[in-house]
Structure 1
C-alpha cells in the first residue's frame, strides 16, 4: 500500500496501533567477518569495558545476542540525519541552535536536534537569547508547562522531543518537569553472537629501548620533552620533572609495545544483524493539542518515518570496524499493525517520506503551524558568560590531562 497523506492520517486517527519495520543486515565484509559492537563500562569488581550480551527468544529458542546499536544511539543518528535535511532546506522543522564557535570551534553549532536532552538540554538552558537566559525568554517559558494533555507549545519548538522522548528535568520544575515517552524506537542487535579476541602490538623500526634515556618535560612547551637535564623543567626543589609517570621513552610514544590479547572487547562474529523499528501511533494519540490534534499527530508520525529513512540512507557505518549492509532482498520494509493484529505492507522511501512530511506540515491549521521556513532556525542563542567560561576551563584541563595521558 502506497503511504500517502490521507491514508497515514487515517492510520494515526483510528486504524492502527503501530508502524513497524525490520531489516536483516550482515557485515560489509560478508558472513563470518568480525564486527565491533559498542563497549560498556562494568562495575568496579570487573574493571574494563565489555559488550552487552544477552539472551533473546528467537524462533522458540534462547539465543545469545549482542547489542550493536542501542535505542539511544539510533535516536541520535536519526536526529543528525534530520538536521542534515533541515540544513539542506529540504524540510521545515523548528530548531533552536547555539553557536559555540568562539569557545569550542571544533564543536561549532549545537542544536535542539543534537543536544543530548533536546530542547531541555542544559546547553540551551544556560545560553542567551537577546541577552536573556533562554529558559526565561517567551519561547523558553512556552514549553515549560507542556504536558501530554496539551503538547502544543513543545510541538511548535521541538517536535522531535515528542517523537524521541523528552524529560524536562533541567527546567524550573526540576524532576517534576514534563515527561514524554519515546514514540519511536529503533535498535540493531547481532544474532547468535560469538566473542572474539583482539591483539595489539607495535614494533618500533628504530628499536628505542625503554632504558635508553630518561625523558623530561621541556622548558620550551613547543618541544614538549627532552633528554637534556639542563633543558628540563624544574620543580620547587630544583629537580628535573620527568615526563609522565616514569619518564620512559614509551611515554612520548617511542619504543615497542608488548603484544597483548583483549578477550573482553575483541569483536564478535554473528549469524546476522537484525534492525527493528517501531513507531507507536498509540503513544501519539495520547498527546493532546489546543487545535489540529490529528494533523499534529500525523506530522509527528511522518517525522518519525522520515527520521528512519534519512538515517538508513546514510548507511549503517556505526563505528570503527562495524559497517553493516542489508542482506540481498532484506532491506527495511514497513507495515502497519492494526488493533486486531492484522498487518498491511507500506510502500515508502526517503524521497517519498520528504514529500509526505512537507505535505503534512502544509496541512497544519493556524495556531499550530511552524513559524519558520525550510533551513531557518526558530531562534539562535549564544553561550552565557558562565557557560563559555566553563567550556574554556574544561578544554584547558583536557589539554593538560591529554599531555599526561600521552606520557
Structure 2
C-alpha cells in the first residue's frame, strides 16, 4: 500500500539523522500526443544537433528536455495566483513600464539583472551570510526562495553555490533519428521580371547560403535536415527531490526554513506540466503506465508514496505561514550599475 504521510511525518524528512530518507523520486511515463511511435522533435544544440547518447549496448538515448530547461519551465508557476503567496513577488522594472520577474531570470539571485538594481547589496549580504555562517540560508529564502529549490551559483561575485533540490529531466530511450527534406519554390520568376539576371539566378539557385536563396528569390532545396526521432523505448520524466541537500541548509530557525523550502520543492516536483516542449514535441502521460512516486532511504529501499499536488500545496502554505514569506519588491534596472558591473567583470577576467 502506498504511504500517505501526515504533515508531521513530512516535517520529519527535514530532520537530521541516519534514518531520515535521502530523496523523493517521481517517474512519469510519457507518450507523444499523436500516440506511441509518432515522431517527436528534441531540442537542437549548436554544433551537435540533437543530443543523442549511445550506451555500451548500442541503445540510443535522446535528451528531450534538460535539467536546466525543466527548471526554467517549472519555476515560473510561482507567479500564478494559485501559488503566488508562497514566495515573494520580486520584479525588475525597465524601459517603458516593462517588468521582468526574478522567477524568469536564468541565474536567479546570481543573475546579472539582479546586480543591476538596488537588490545587489542585500543579495551579496545574503550570499555572504550563507558562506560565513555555516550555510545560513534565511536571507536567501526571504529574497528569492526558488534559488534554494532550483539551485544558484553566484559565479560573478561571492562564488556561493547552492545545489538544486529539485532536478527534473525528460529522456527518450531506444531512439532512431529521422531526417526530412523540403523544396522552396518562389511564387514569381524574378529573373524573368528583371529583378536580377538569368545568369545570376543560375549562379545562386539551389545554394542555401547564397544571397538570393537567403532572401527567398530562387529555388532552394533543404535535404537531410533534422526530422525528429522515433522512440521504441520509454519516454520518461524523472524528478528527484534531494533531501540530503535540503538538510544541509541552516537558518535563524532551521526547522522552519527547511520545512518552507521542502514545501516549495514538493509543489514544484508534483506540479502538472502541459507537456508542450516545442513545435513537434507535445507529450502526455501514458495512461497504461502513468507515474510512480517513491520515498528512498539511505540503504536504497524504496517505499511507494502517495502525495498529491494538492497535498503538497496545502503543506507548502502552512510551512510558508510558519516561516514568514519575504516582502514583495519592485526595483528599477539601473543602467549606471550595469555599466560598472560590466567593467568590473572585465577586470576580474583580466
Shift of residue 210 of structure 1?
8.4
1:7 equivalent in alignment to 2:9:
yes
- The answer (yes or no) to whether the contact 1:145–1:178 under 8 Å persists in 2 is no
Q: Aligned in 2, Cα 1:302/1:2: closer, same or farther, shift over 3 Å?
A: same
Q: Aligned in 2, Cα 1:334/1:56: closer, same or farther, shift over 3 Å?
A: farther
Post-superposition Cα deviations, 1:59-117, rounded to whole Å, max 9, x if no partner, equal xx552111110000011111022222xx4565320242102352xx7xx4222211011
Q: What is the aligned counterpart of 2:274 among 303, 310, 315? A: 315
1:50 equivalent in alignment to 2:49:
yes
Which residues of structure 1 form unaligned runs of 5+?
43-48, 128-132, 216-244, 373-377, 391-407
Shift of residue 349 of structure 1?
2.6
RMSD over aligned Cα atoms: 2.7
Q: Aligned in 2, Cα 1:262/1:62: closer, same or farther, shift over 3 Å?
A: closer
In the alignment, the residues of structure 1 paired with residue 42 and residue 192 of structure 2 have an alpha-carbon distance, to the nearest angstrom, of 35
1:190 equivalent in alignment to 2:195:
no
Name the structure 1 match of 2:154.
168
Dislocated runs of 4+, deviation >6 Å: 387-390
Q: What is the aligned counterpart of 1:34 among 7, 32, 39? A: 39
Structure 2 length as normaliser, TM-score? Answer: 0.82
Which residues of structure 2 form unaligned runs of 5+?
198-208, 341-350
Shift of residue 187 of structure 1?
0.6
In the alignment, the residues of structure 2 paired with residue 210 and residue 24 of structure 1 have an alpha-carbon distance, to the nearest angstrom, of 56
Post-superposition Cα deviations, 1:188-241, rounded to whole Å, max 9, x if no partner, equal 1011010100223223333444884149xxxxxxxxxxxxxxxxxxxxxxxxxx
Name the structure 2 match of 1:119.
109
Post-superposition Cα deviations, 1:317-368, rounded to whole Å, max 9, x if no partner, equal 101101111111433331111122222222223322221210111233xxxx
Counterparts of 1:250-269 in structure 2, within 5 Å, are 250=213, 252-253=215-216, 255-263=217-225, 265-269=226-230
Name the structure 2 match of 1:342.
301
In the alignment, the residues of structure 2 paired with residue 209 and residue 154 of structure 1 have an alpha-carbon distance, to the nearest angstrom, of 64
Q: Work out the number of aligned pairs and report it.
A: 321
Name the structure 1 match of 2:312.
353
**What secondary structure is seen at the aligned counterpart in 1 of 2:104?**
coil
